[in-house]
Structure 1
Amino acid sequence: MHRKPDWEARLAAYLDPLRLRAFAWGRHDCCTFAAGAVEAMTGVDPMPEFRGHYTTARGSVRALRRIGRGTLAATLDAKFESVEPSLAQRGDIIMSSGLLGICFGAFLIAVGREGEREGLIRIDRPVWVEPRAWRVQYGS
Structure 2
Amino acid sequence: MGQVSGTILRREGWELRLAAEIRAWEGRAFVWGAADCLGFCRATARAMIGTDPIPDLPAYASEIQAAKGLVRLGFGSIADLIDAHLPRVAVALARRGDWVMGDAAGALPGAMGVVTGRQAVHLAERGPVRRPVLDAEVAWRIG
TM-score normalised to structure 1 length? 0.86
Listed as ranges, the gaps of 5+ residues in structure 2 are 1-7, 104-109
User: In structure 1, the residue corresponding to 2:42 is in which secondary structure?
Assistant: helix
Query: In the alignment, which residue of structure 2 is the partner of 1:86?
Result: 92
Distance in 2 between residues matched to 1:16 and 1:101, nearest whole Å: 14
Q: Relative to 1, partners in 2 of residues 1:68 and 1:112: Cα closer, same or farther, differing over 3 Å?
A: farther
Q: Relative to 1, partners in 2 of residues 1:60 and 1:31: Cα closer, same or farther, differing over 3 Å?
A: same
| Distance apart, 1:68 and its partner CA | 5.4
Distance in 2 between residues matched to 1:111 and 1:68, nearest whole Å: 25
Select which of 76, 83, 94 maps to 1:77. Answer: 83
Figure out how many residues of one structure are paired with residues of the other and give that number.
130
Distance in 2 between residues matched to 1:109 and 1:76, nearest whole Å: 18
1:99-114 to 2 correspondences below 5 Å: 99-113=111-125
Residue by residue over 1:108-129, the C-alpha shift from the partner in whole angstroms, topping out at 9 and shown as x without a partner, is: 001014xxxx111101235x25
1:1-140 to 2 correspondences below 5 Å: 1-50=8-57, 53-67=59-73, 69-97=75-103, 98-113=110-125, 118-126=126-134, 128-129=135-136, 131-137=137-143
Distance in 1 between residues matched to 2:74 and 2:55, nearest whole Å: 11
Structure having the larger proportion of residues in helix:
1
Instruction: Flag the structure with more relative contact order, 1 or 2, with Cα contacts below 8 A and sequence separation at least 6.
Output: 1
User: In structure 1, the residue corresponding to 2:75 is in which secondary structure?
Assistant: coil
Paired AA for residue 16 in structure 2: A
Distance in 2 between residues matched to 1:101 and 1:29, nearest whole Å: 10
